[in-house]
Structure 1
Amino acid sequence: MFGAVPALLTYYWCMKMPETARYMALVARNAKQAASDVSKVMQVEIEAEEEKVDKIGTASSNSFGLFTREFAQRHGLHLLGTSVCWFLLDIAYINNLFQKDIFSAIGWLPKAETMNAIHEVYRVAMSQTIIALCGTIPRYWFTVVFIDYIDKFTIQLMGFFFMTVFMFALAIPYDHWLSNSAGFLIMYSLTFFFANFGPNATTFVVPAEIFPEKLRLNCHSISAASGKLVAIVGALGFPYAAQNKDPSKTDADYPPGNGVRNSLFLLGGINCLGIFFTFLVPECKGKSLEEITGEKEEADANDMQQASSTQTFPV
């Protein structure tokens, strides 16, 4: 019951949030409301430029729809890149769900039959807490500090690259790690560090910056849905895939699977694919939203054309 309170508070405050000024100006075509909202935030008086807003709103960069040839030409590869990268990240990130199998395989957790339910929950929670303290929590601070200094393309590329490296570093000498559980956990923590200080941050941020205002929500939703779809599949499939090949060593009611080592190889290959699809995502550091979506270039071209048409020459 009490768990519903945060959700209700979140809903209330979301309903109190105003629309962004860009949405009000370019989509709702309400320049006065946009100027008023910006004035409240910036605490300065801003005049509504209705003519300029109408000019930008009717530009070709804001006139095409999602399922049009022009969108496919301008942003089709961008949408493919953001969707597939989010898709691949969530496959790789789903190894959260079989941490118990990994910890058991390297001897970090005792066999299930030697523990009662409370002891098992405690040991699993302790192991996951160590991983979070070593990898997940530090990445948040790294992301906060560096995301405005290192371009997002580099952060995402670096994240997928090192996730690939550490996954293969765990999988190839897997037998070595069985007798060196501390080293395994350090390497495993680093995969989470670079997942979070990497694509787990940028896949959320980039789709909110590179698409036109009119279609930004649609494109961000498609990208996010791609990730959540595979999260459902991964939640159902990976616990089975990570089971031991030996039927006598699987968890209760689970059939034999591919084993932890092969699952790590699979995750490493998926991360490697993320490297290639990252090249479809444009860099947006230091660029305004108008520059990213092409609105600025179009406006400049129109201004130059208008200036040349009104220019007079002496005879």
Structure 2
Amino acid sequence: MGFKWNPFSKSKEPKEPLPLEQYEAAEQKKIFGLVNKQEAKLLAIAGTGFLLDSYDLFIINLVTPILSYLYWGGLEGHEDYPSGIRGLVNAGTNIGNIMGQLIFGFLGDFFGRQFVYGKEMMLVIISTILLISLPDRLPTPLDKSMWLFTFRVLLGIGIGGDYPMSASITSEQSMIHRRGALLSWIFSNQGWGTLVGCIATLVILACYRTSLEVHGDYHKLDGVWRIQFGIALLPAFLVLIPRLRMKESKQFKDSKNVHALNEAETNSQTDDLKKNQETFTSADLPQPVDTAKATEKTSGSVQVEPRDNSFMASKEPPSDKAEQQDQEQVKSGSTFVAYFSEWRHLRLLLGSAISWFLLDIAFYGVNLNQSVILNEMGFNSGKNQYRKLQRNAIGNLIIAIAGYVPGYWATVFLIEKMGRKWIQIQGFAICSLLFAVLAGKWHTISTAGRFVCIALAQFFFNFGPNTTTFVYPAEVFPSRVRAFSHGICAASGKAGAILSGLLFNKLTEVIGFDKVLWIFFACMILGIIFSLLLPETAGRDADLVDRLEIVAMQQGKDSIIDRSEKWAWWKHGI
């Protein structure tokens, strides 16, 4: 008899493996809801890109006043930093994000996760080095701004590529009952990036205090902003090698081969699946069986085999012809087009992408311009430039601690209990209420009242759609189209961020800040409507749904969903 390994046996004698239900129960009891060693490695490797994304977002928010002082006459008392140029520099990373999300998302499905992962971090490192190497000999402020813009775009391509890659890898290497929490945990690194950005700025300013405040040598600020950007190199270098050594997920390989199976094999394997596992019907669509395997340690990499998808691969290897046809289909992109040619799939893409777009108009409108908002509140006052920069950093830090970071962690701990859809819709709803209050009472509400509303909005952005719009594309689409689909959704979000970044300052000048807040209110209301297109994905295995849809089509059935069941519109989307 062959060797049987039981990961929970204290005896040296081999025993039969535990059933799935016992394995998951033991795993949950063992870690008390916290991550185990392999999950911690995955979180560290995949989460770094989101820390860098948020760090860059908030650093440019804190660097903008410095650039104004140094290059646009702020130190001479005739500051003239054009709103268009300022918006372009601020939006540079988001412009690059769109390209990176689409390019790396497509390449991730085309070549596989293993081949692509890590290349985006190499781009982040190269672009950051070039960014902080801004030559002093460039003659005009416009030339300097264009240098910063160019390499912030390149930086954005690298950071953008991390969205579809890290989301897909995490989704495919997580157990279903913990997948949402792990995806949220990875995305919550944006909160730490914000916090690190604020603290780093305060520490750097403290180091330069003598030169800046005592001696009044504000040209030393040139070193401050370079250090602020350069700090991002440390985590980027730390995770580069582990990313390059990450192995391909079994789930992705199985999903790519799903169309190489013939109809007879498909029907036979699906019958076996229904006999040996829970029946997957519309009544229990959000709760498919999780067939988790034990983790496998590899040197310098994380290989977590979350589900036994052997039913998705042929019992006999597909013929060379079938395999070649499948590879040609995947590589030509016809798989993606064919999948989204059906409304039931296209509505998921529209719901995910448009919700993210609407969210980021408001989210980045606030966060890219938080220093401007703090100035509108009168929080950035100070007797000199040093004190103004310090107050600006402190204001951002307070908002991060009070609302931004706690919002992420509320999602991490509650997403598996409350579900993705409820968290997303309640976040949109509460933010719309807060923006309505701010817009209607902006000129009469106290500074403290404004501050509280902004902090609460940050909390419900993150305990709401800012996190769930990232989680949804990683869970609702099957592995064979997941990376590119996630890239499209993320790029839609960044399009909203760019729109907000380029127009916020101009609209504030033309119609006033309170009217801009009404625009944010409208975006939140529309976000609620488009969120109704989406199903609840807690416990949902998109690859299993994909497989059963193929079987249903072969059997002449239109859908595997029973629309007559109670709450079908909520569980499966309208």
Q: TM-score, normalised by structure 2?
A: 0.44
Q: Does 1:199 align with 2:462?
A: no
Q: Structure 2: where are the runs of 5+ without partners?
A: 1-128, 130-229, 261-290, 297-302, 558-574
Report the CA distance shift for 1:39/1:109 in structure 2 as closer, same or farther (over 3 A).
closer
- Report if aligned partners of 1:101, 1:260 keep a CA contact under 8 Å in 2: no
Query: 1:126: which partner in 2?
Result: 394
- Report if aligned partners of 1:152, 1:283 keep a CA contact under 8 Å in 2: yes
Q: Which secondary structure state, in structure 1, belongs to the residue aligned with residue 314 of structure 2? A: helix
Q: Deviations over 1:100-159 (max 9, x none)?
A: 33223333333xxx6422111111111111111110111122111101111101110011
Query: 2:524: which partner in 1?
Result: 271
Q: How does 1:7-156 map to 2 (within 5 A)?
A: 7-27=236-256, 40=296, 50-52=313-315, 65-68=335-338, 71-94=341-364, 95-110=366-381, 115-156=383-424
Q: CA deviation at 1:69?
A: 7.1
Q: Does 1:213 align with 2:476?
A: no
- Report if aligned partners of 1:87, 1:226 keep a CA contact under 8 Å in 2: yes
For the residues of structure 2 that align with 1:66 and 1:133, how far apart are their CA atoms?
Answer: 41
For this pair of structures, how many residues does the alignment match? Answer: 277
Q: CA deviation at 1:25?
A: 1.6
Q: CA deviation at 1:11?
A: 2.7
Q: How does 1:171-182 map to 2 (within 5 A)?
A: 171-177=439-445, 180-182=446-448
For the residues of structure 2 that align with 1:53 and 1:175, how far apart are their CA atoms?
Answer: 72
- Report if aligned partners of 1:156, 1:199 keep a CA contact under 8 Å in 2: yes
Query: 1:251: which partner in 2?
Result: none
Q: Deviations over 1:170-195 (max 9, x none)?
A: 11122221xx2112211111111100
AA aligned to 2:515 is N
Q: CA deviation at 1:52?
A: 5.0
Query: 1:284: which partner in 2?
Result: 537
Report the CA distance shift for 1:10/1:127 in structure 2 as closer, same or farther (over 3 A).
same
For the residues of structure 1 that align with 2:398 and 2:369, how far apart are their CA atoms?
Answer: 16
Report the CA distance shift for 1:269/1:43 in structure 2 as closer, same or farther (over 3 A).
closer
For the residues of structure 2 that align with 1:43 and 1:185, how far apart are their CA atoms?
Answer: 46
Greater Cα shift, 225-234 or 190-199: 225-234
Q: Does 1:236 align with 2:502?
A: yes
For the residues of structure 1 that align with 2:309 and 2:372, how far apart are their CA atoms?
Answer: 61
For the residues of structure 2 that align with 1:43 and 1:282, how far apart are their CA atoms?
Answer: 26
Q: CA deviation at 1:162?
A: 0.6
Match of 1:157 among 406, 420, 425: 425
Q: Which secondary structure state, in structure 2, belongs to the residue aligned with residue 19 of structure 1? A: coil
For the residues of structure 2 that align with 1:297 and 1:210, how far apart are their CA atoms?
Answer: 14
For the residues of structure 2 that align with 1:215 and 1:89, how far apart are their CA atoms?
Answer: 24
For the residues of structure 1 that align with 2:553 and 2:502, how far apart are their CA atoms?
Answer: 52
Greater Cα shift, 4-13 or 195-204: 4-13
Report the CA distance shift for 1:216/1:96 in structure 2 as closer, same or farther (over 3 A).
same
Q: CA deviation at 1:42?
A: 6.8
- Report if aligned partners of 1:25, 1:53 keep a CA contact under 8 Å in 2: no
Q: Deviations over 1:227-250 (max 9, x none)?
A: 1223223222212222xxxxxxxx
Q: Which secondary structure state, in structure 2, belongs to the residue aligned with residue 257 of structure 1? A: helix
Q: Which secondary structure state, in structure 2, belongs to the residue aligned with residue 176 of structure 1? A: coil
Report the CA distance shift for 1:93/1:42 in structure 2 as closer, same or farther (over 3 A).
closer
Q: Which secondary structure state, in structure 1, belongs to the residue aligned with residue 476 of structure 2? A: coil
For the residues of structure 2 that align with 1:140 and 1:24, how far apart are their CA atoms?
Answer: 32
AA aligned to 2:250 is A
Q: How does 1:219-258 map to 2 (within 5 A)?
A: 219-242=485-508, 256-258=509-511
Q: Deviations over 1:200-230 (max 9, x none)?
A: 1111111011112211111000001111223
Report the CA distance shift for 1:294/1:54 in structure 2 as closer, same or farther (over 3 A).
farther
For the residues of structure 1 that align with 2:470 and 2:463, how far apart are their CA atoms?
Answer: 12
Question: Where do 4+ consecutive residues of structure 1 move more than 6 Å?
Answer: 300-303
- Report if aligned partners of 1:159, 1:199 keep a CA contact under 8 Å in 2: yes
For the residues of structure 1 that align with 2:339 and 2:235, how far apart are their CA atoms?
Answer: 43
Q: TM-score, normalised by structure 1?
A: 0.77
Query: 2:235: which partner in 1?
Result: 6
Q: CA deviation at 1:289?
A: 2.7
Q: Which secondary structure state, in structure 2, belongs to the residue aligned with residue 281 of structure 1? A: coil
Query: 1:250: which partner in 2?
Result: none
**Overall identity of the aligned pairs, in %:** 30
Q: Structure 1: where are the runs of 5+ without partners?
A: 243-255, 306-315
For the residues of structure 1 that align with 2:547 and 2:535, how far apart are their CA atoms?
Answer: 16
For the residues of structure 1 that align with 2:531 and 2:305, how far apart are their CA atoms?
Answer: 39
Q: Deviations over 1:1-51 (max 9, x none)?
A: 664342233332211111222112221679xxxx9x96626799x796652
Q: CA deviation at 1:298?
A: 4.6
- Report if aligned partners of 1:21, 1:38 keep a CA contact under 8 Å in 2: no
Query: 2:566: which partner in 1?
Result: none
Q: Which secondary structure state, in structure 2, belongs to the residue aligned with residue 51 of structure 1? A: coil
AA aligned to 2:255 is L
Q: Which has the higher contact order (CA 8 A, sep 6+)?
A: 1
